[in-house]
Amino acid sequence: MNTPSVGQQPHGRGHSEGHGQDLAWLLAQVACGDHAAFEAVYDQLAGPVYGVARKVLRDPAQSEEVAQEVLLEVWRSASRFDPARGSAAAWVMTIAHRRAVDRVRAENAATAREQKAAPDIGTSEDVFELVDMALDRQRVRRCMGRLSSLQAEAIKLAYYGGYSYPEVAGLLGLPLGTVKTRIRDGLIRMRDCMEVPQ
């Protein structure tokens, strides 16, 4: 994206961590009220934030509302981000996923989810982001491929579907304990496969 220049960024973007260093640095600037830095954060994360909301909520209008809330929350509480407790991308995505899940559980999930719309790949200018997305997507696909089908299925239902784990158990016809351990084991395998910083 055409990110406005925001002072001197530490060089490059650690591609292998996807959205690592720069984002943490940008968030520190955002915490000081830097609007240009916030624009840069927006350009990097609006796509994933909106994407998660769409995945969980389906409905475009609701997803946009949630995405706006999340991004404003990032602006508002940037000072509370602590790099010692995880990456900036994970911090933002955690807020995004929670909001989406909270929304889907607060409202009548059934009606919202029935309005399935084909995910649009978006228009023109966002091809820039697509490159980064492709990096992430390919790695995720590769790592998902190493999970057992049960682990992958349970994780997808919980994360992308926004279902609680008893709901996942119901959908898959499995005991609660099994779902608990499958999701945990699967995520551990994902974590190790994606070389998430420990």
In the set 71, 109, 112, 147, which binds other proteins (CB under 8 A)? 71
- The whole-angstrom separation of Cα 174 and Cα 165 is 10
Nearer to other proteins, 114 or 125 (CB): 125
Please choose, from the candidates 24, 25, 20, 38, the residue with its C-alpha nearest in 3D space to the C-alpha of residue 76.
38
| Count of residues of this chain found to bind other proteins when the rule CB under 8 A is applied | 110
Please choose, from the candidates 83, 68, 69, the residue with its C-alpha nearest in 3D space to the C-alpha of residue 31.
83
* Nearest distance from C-beta of residue 127 to other proteins, angstroms: 5
Is 87 near other proteins (CB under 8 A)? yes
151 with 109: CB under 8 angstroms? no
Is 130 near other proteins (CB under 8 A)? yes
* Nearest distance from C-beta of residue 134 to other proteins, angstroms: 5
Is 149 near other proteins (CB under 8 A)? no
* Nearest distance from C-beta of residue 29 to other proteins, angstroms: 12
Please choose, from the candidates 65, 67, 38, 62, the residue with its C-alpha nearest in 3D space to the C-alpha of residue 50.
67
Is 24 near other proteins (CB under 8 A)? no
140 with 132: CB under 8 angstroms? no
Q: What is the DSSP letter of 86?
A: S
Please choose, from the candidates 138, 131, 111, the residue with its C-alpha nearest in 3D space to the C-alpha of residue 47.
131
Binding to other proteins, residues 91-120 (CB under 8 A): 91, 93-98, 101, 105, 119-120
| 113's tokens | 């989810």
* Nearest distance from C-beta of residue 111 to other proteins, angstroms: 19
* Nearest distance from C-beta of residue 56 to other proteins, angstroms: 9
Is 34 near other proteins (CB under 8 A)? no
Is 25 near other proteins (CB under 8 A)? no
Binding to other proteins, residues 154-193 (CB under 8 A): 155, 158-160, 162-166, 168, 177, 179-181, 183-188, 190-191
| 191's tokens | 């974590």
Q: Which region holds residue 7: left if phi is over 0, alpha if psi is between -120 and 50, else beta?
A: left
Is 79 near other proteins (CB under 8 A)? yes
